[in-house]
Amino acid sequence: MQQGPIEQLVIVGGGTAGWMAAANLAEHFKHSGLSITLVESSQIGTIGVGEATIPSIRRFYGALGLKDEDVLRRTNGTCKLAIRFDGWSKPGDAFYHPFGLYGQDVRQVGFHHYWLKMHRAGKAGPISDYSLGVALADGGKFTRPSPRPPSPLSVFDWALHFDASLFAKVMKESALANGVKAIDAKIESVELNAETGFIDSLALDTGAKLEGELFIDCSGFRGLLIEGALETGYESWSEWLHCDRAVAMQSELDDTQQLVPYTRSIAHKAGWQWKIPLTNRQGNGYVFSSAHISDDEALATLRDNVKGSQRTEPNFIPFVPGRRRRAWNRNCIAVGLSSGFLEPLESTSIALIETAIDKIKLLFPDKSFRPGVIDEFNEMTALEYERVRDFIILHYKLNGRHGEPFWDQCREMEVPDTLARKMQLFKERGHLVKYRWEIFQNASWLAMYNGLNYLPDGYDPAVDHFDIAYLEKAFFEMKKSLDEGVAATPRHEDFLQEIGR
């Protein structure tokens, strides 16, 4: 067994995952003597999609010294306060999943319990009436959250919509500035050590051989190292997630819609469509089940639902929802699409890249590659993916589109035990439980349960400490304060102009 610190790290792939890993690890290890080389192939290119994020991205680039306004400017970015789900609860209906809280918890009891009592008594509007994130998103408004919110009612967060290839460039610049060496070449083969089965080196089409001690596989769906060379295996989740294809297409901005501060997810016959506004164009795509509609029908639906003129040819992308059985196998760690894929319904792929990088730093190996560290990494990754998987399955399971085979099948399916337990706990008495390694907070689950009309049978009895008249006044004041806050907030477009977009 070899000893001593890792000195040569090789990252394979220069998509969003590769350059995010390079930038972050180069910053983290900048005084450690670790040499980082990234190899990418301009002949092969990147997947070219991935435009919506969740708020953790801001912490990620913030740690590299990048400011929100710089990233927005350099990536044609817009602000994202929520996802708006159109037609999921039933055709014609819409609701938001905001990055923020609902109402105000009192006496350690969640706001939604008070709301349930009031809603049942016919004394409260929908729970979304008590979310600043929803009110801002719906009003097309945007402001940065106060670092010291005056009340829990003012707590919300935000993320970005951006051009992922421009974001990768920003990451590349940061990585190169910290000494990462970049090679543009195609990897032709991977050489394994005959004794250990570890990766020794990569043979490039330039004739060069690239040696390394630790390899990070960011080669995209192909998983060149983790699967191509190491045959790690893949766990498919198709039994719960029935979409297996997407068609993506960029268009001019839709004149009928301003630059809304939210991602749109619009349910169609056999899946859902995304609409993502950037400052110079719109990203569109239809994620669908090929067992229910053909490519032609999917494309026709997408074209019918994109108002601005088409800027790019449609790009069909097949996928298998699931995860690599071991994200870390021998001396190779898969990050990004090579480690697994969950459809972009909640914009989680880039977030899973961030958390993978965090775990690499936390459990960075030495040359001995002790199994404990590897097992821990794999367990954390598996749990994280499964938690996101469950959240996404929930969207389908609770859909309210009756009489459409795809949606009926989703509603009628059995769900994983972990999800069934969560749903049952909520149904019984509105319990929200956050599991270990869960990316989404309770408020996100609440947004989906409520939006999809899955309401509990009971609420926390502690709520009865307050009488209805008292709560009615408190709810009224809360709504009034939110409305006033929103009225005083600038429009999203004005905010973007102000920062120079």
Q: Helix, strand, or coil here: 430?
A: coil
Residue 218 in the binding site for ligand FAD (CB under 6 A): yes
Report, in Å, the least distance between residue 50 CB and ligand FAD.
Answer: 3
Q: Kind and range of the H or E element at 351? A: helix 349-362
Does 298 participate in binding ligand FAD (rule CB under 6 A)?
Answer: no
Q: Are 50 and 168 in contact (CB under 8 A)?
A: no
Question: What whole-number distance in Å separates Cα of residue 288 and Cα of residue 267?
Answer: 10
User: From the CB of 460, what's the least distance to ligand FAD, in Å?
Assistant: 35
Determine whether the annotation assigns residue 384 to a binding site. Answer: no
In angstroms, give the least distance from the CB of 15 to ligand FAD.
2
- Pick between residue 18 and residue 110 the one whose CB is nearest to ligand FAD: 18
The response to whether 233 counts as a known ligand-binding position is no
Does position 248 bind ligand FAD by CB under 6 A? yes
| 40 versus 163: smaller Cβ distance to ligand FAD | 40
Choosing from 28, 50, 301, 406, the residue that interacts with ligand FAD (CB under 6 A) is 50
Distance separating alpha carbons of residues 365 and 373, to the nearest angstrom: 7
Between 246 and 463, CB nearer to ligand FAD:
246
d(CA 248, CA 239): 24
307 is catalytic: no
Tokens of 147: 């670092």
Q: Which of 30, 67, 80, 479 is labelled catalytic?
A: 80
- Tokens for 479, please give them: 């709504």
**Is 346 labelled a binding residue?**
yes
Residues in Cβ contact with 231 at an 8 Å cutoff, skipping those fewer than 6 apart: none
350 labelled binding-site residue: yes
CA angle (200, 353, 347) in 5-degree steps? 150
The reply on whether position 345 binds ligand FAD by CB under 6 A is no
CB nearer to ligand FAD: pick between 88 and 102? 88
What Cα–Cα distance (Å) separates residue 369 from each residue in 37, 196, 198, 377, 487? 20, 12, 10, 12, 57
Regarding 76 and contact with ligand FAD (CB under 6 A), the answer is no
Record the tokens describing residue 199, joined without a space.
Answer: 């990766």
Phi-psi region of 265 (alpha: psi -120 to 50; beta: other; left: phi over 0): beta
With left for phi above 0 and alpha for psi between -120 and 50, is residue 104 left, alpha or beta? Answer: beta
Q: Does 350 bind ligand FAD (CB under 6 A)?
A: yes
Examine residue 224 and tell whether it contacts ligand FAD (CB under 6 A): yes
Half-sphere exposure of 289 (CA within 13 A, CB side): 20
Both tokens assigned to 392: 């996404």
Compute the distance between CA of residue 34 and CA of residue 397 in angstroms, rounded to an integer: 47
String marking each residue 28-47 x if it binds ligand FAD according to CB under 6 A: -----------xxx--xxxx
Is 347 a binder of ligand FAD (CB under 6 A)? yes
Per-residue binding string, ligand FAD, 306-325, x by CB under 6 A, is -----------x-x------
Site for ligand FAD contains 16 (CB under 6 A): yes
Dihedrals φ, ψ of 202, to 5°? -120, 135
By annotation, the residues acting in catalysis are 80
Interface ranges with ligand FAD (CB under 6 A): 13-18, 39-41, 44-47, 49-53, 164, 186-187, 218-220, 222, 224, 246, 248, 285, 317, 319, 336-338, 344, 347, 349-350
Query: Could you tell me which residues are annotated as the binding site for 7-chloro-L-tryptophan?
Result: 80
Query: Could you tell me which residues are annotated as the binding site?
Result: 14-17, 80, 337, 346, 350
Query: Could you tell me which residues are annotated as the binding site for L-tryptophan?
Result: 346
